[in-house]
A and B are shown apart, each in its own frame.
Chain A
Amino acid sequence: MPLHIWINGAVALFVLGAAVATWRLRRNALWREAGRELWRRRPLALAFVALYSALALCDSISWIDAEGTGVREPRSLLVRAFPVDFQEASYSAPLADVEFYGGQPLQHPGAHWLGTDILGRDVLLQALRGARVALLVGGLTSLIAIPLALLFGVAAGYRGGWLDDLVLFLISVLFAMPGLLLLIALIMALGRGPVQVCVALGVTGWVSFARLARGETLKLRELDYVQAARALGVSELRIIVRHVVPNLMHLVVITFVLMFSSLVLTEAVLAWLGLGIDGSWGQMIDRARDELSRDPIIWWNLTAASAALFGLILAVNLVGDAVRDILDPRTLRERA
């Protein structure tokens, strides 16, 4: 019986990678301390983030059933938690027994906790599946934008001279363009797939962190321990890798968390313009626009997607603020 295992996109790798990275960081006393402090301050928000991550992970491990079961599409762990043919003909209200228009009896009466959409698909399942897309947008884009920003920012700040001028010019040019227009143009040029959208978001999103990294590197470059390393005969590359970049890591973590939520929101804006990723909350909200003007009103679609989006953004922002408080060198010094 051949079992096809589909790792859907990169999300499973992100979640597992993040788990492994967290585990590895526990070996470093400074990070372990910061992690404990974070858990002490924001247990609920962290639990929420973990919940969303678990949902995304469950939705990214999928496989095709053996022949003879009648289903050809690969189905994820998350989808498998619901009945195989969990679908109605059209709209139904949350926990309803009959269709919203017409009053035909449902196949699964009372089972759709958040109702169904125009095609009769379960809204709860769609909202849960949105977590995978959100993590893809936030994770993959950060993975593109942050290394790019570190590379340009640190190189410019450390080397100075013409390289600094060049990078600053690039940053100024990107800042001078209206972000959304540039984003739309890039997506038009690259195509509409999920990876393309992430690349477009990443390429436009690195500038502000690059500027921050450059400024911080300028400061670090003159610090005593960098001078001391130089006096010991440490090569410039090694100084960057061991003495400059590790001292930027707190900024990387803070930027990652704060960037994550803004990226998920930007995707929602793109979806509203019809340029989003299939299955995202943004797309659900976009589709629900017309339903608000129906009579009687179809409210559960919009509500479910918005609540799911709101929950993730709020949790991530709360974690982000706590992370900033904990990792900011000024508050760090007070605790030490």
Chain B
Amino acid sequence: MSERVLEVEGLVVTFPGDTGRTAVVDHVDLTLDAGEALALVGESGCGKSMTALSLLRLVPKPGRIEAGRIQIAGQDVLTLPIPALRSLRGRGAAMVFQEPMTSLNPVLTVGAQVVEAIRLHERVGANAARRRAAELFAHVGIPDPEARLDAYPHQLSGGMKQRAMIAIALAARPKLLIADEPTTALDVTIQAQILDLLRDLRRDSGMALLLITHDLGIVNEVADRVAVMYAGQLVETGSRELVLGAARHPYTQGLLRSIPALAPRGARLSEIPGSVPSAGAWPSGCRFHPRCPRAFEPCPRIDPGWTELRAGQRARCHAVAKEEAS
């Protein structure tokens, strides 16, 4: 259970802005072992999705991966030639996108799309691929899989579509599944079913899961480890118990306080004042300092480095560093 599936070091993704290229993902480090689930958490616009896309070199133009190293299943993604990259996509790591409504091709049956994904990475006949597709559908909990193979996307409900998307992503037996807000577009009961499905799949196949979300409730249910992102940078990482139970970074604390289920009962729900600054207009020093309740003298000037806490928990905060030092 300790095979390293994903290793990201110093990842920088830039987009051209008014004043040169600005980094929307700024020196992000991530690691993920087989069978592990890591949740990447943050508000909208903080660079989560861009991080996910860059893992498979899918950053849309004019964006560019400027620096860093990405290894998936032992292969260096950034130096891989195109044919090898293509076989890594889907087989090494597969993605499930946010919108099940638009992530399936409307003019092909879902079966045809699963079969395409299977035959892309494996030399199997059409009939064998169809049987595999039916098995996959049954595996992801689609009732009457044989018949559903011939359905068009518009004939399926949102939950069924997301299951079909997951089946497509699983077609080549990937070592890593990247799920970008997989349940955001679904209603709550379906959300729970999809999350259960993801957990079962991970347990059964030893697949690693990188879950991108802004919903801390989902994190609590699925993740082993959590990485919190703010304005293109990671600000706190650690095990789920520590980050959700004993968060140190003021941003993480603020996020947790704004969740009804996790906030103390009867207490007034708080929010973090202001909103995420847009890329290119990031504050100097600590990027969170204009919104931070604990900001003090060095925060606007000096970029805080990582402060190592117990059991692998780390936070990027001057206040935490001061607490630890004293």
Contact = CB atoms under 8 A, between A and B. Distances in A.
A235 B104 CA distance: 17
Interface residues of A, number: 22
Contacts of B172: 232-233
Given A233-B89, A246-B108, A228 B116 contact: no
Interface in B168-206: 168-169, 171-172
A246 B90 CA distance: 23
B154 interface: yes
B94 A224 contact: no
B90 to A, nearest CB: 4
Nearest to A220: B105
B322 to A, nearest CB: 43
Contacts, number: 72
Contacts of A229: 105
B89 A225 contact: no
Contact of B120 (A228, A232, A336): A232
A233 B116 contact: no
A247 B58 contact: no
A230 B58 contact: yes
A228 B107 contact: no
Interface in A202-231: 222-225, 227-231
B152 interface: yes
B97 A232 contact: no
Contacts of A243: 105
B107 A233 contact: no
Nearest to B178: A231
Contacts of B56: 231
B97 A227 contact: yes
Contacts of B169: 232
Contacts of A249: 107
B103 A228 contact: yes
Contacts of B152: 29-30
Contacts of A246: 105, 107-108
Contacts of B86: 233-235
Given A227-B97, A233-B120, A247 B106 contact: yes
Interface in B52-82: 56, 58, 60
A267 B117 CA distance: 48
23 contacts: A29-B109, A29-B152, A223-B102, A224-B102, A225-B102, A225-B104, A225-B105, A225-B106, A228-B103, A231-B56, A231-B58, A232-B94, A232-B117, A232-B169, A232-B171, A233-B85, A233-B88, A233-B89, A234-B86, A242-B108, A242-B116, A333-B154, A336-B154
Interface of A: 29-30, 222-225, 227-235, 242-243, 246-247, 249, 333, 336
Interface of B: 56, 58, 60, 85-91, 94-95, 97, 99, 102-109, 116-117, 120-121, 150, 152, 154-155, 165, 168-169, 171-172
Across the A-B interface, the 8 shortest Cβ-Cβ residue pairs: A233-B89, A233-B90, A232-B90, A224-B102, A231-B95, A233-B86, A336-B154, A224-B103
